[in-house]
Amino acid sequence: MIRRQLQQKMLAWESRQLLLERPAVQKSFIEENSIQDKVVAKIKRSLSVRALVGAI
């Protein structure tokens, strides 16, 4: 499961880098990205809490 998540993160990061090379895309992508990062952070926190509770 962790391996799959890492692969998805790498793919997302690579596609993000490719998009950021195009200047027209940069501004809107950066704005959208900050929202996405906040959502991802929330999901990660809830997953880590569930993992901790599951481990107990």
For 4-38, write each residue's pLDDT tens digit: 888 888 888 787 777 666 766 566 666 777 778 88
**DSSP for the chain, written as a single string:** -HHHHHHHHHHHHHHHHHHHTSHHHHHHHHHHHHHHHHHHHHHHHHHHHHHHHHH-
State residue 2's pLDDT score.
82
- Domain region containing 51: 2-55
Task: Give the chain's domain count.
Answer: 1
* 3 pLDDT higher than 80: yes
State residue 19's pLDDT score.
65
Question: Of 19 and 53, which is predicted with more confidence?
Answer: 53
pTM: 0.36
Backbone angles phi and psi of 3, in degrees to 5 = -60, -45
**pLDDT, averaged across the chain:** 77
Distance of CA 31 to the CA centre of its chain: 14
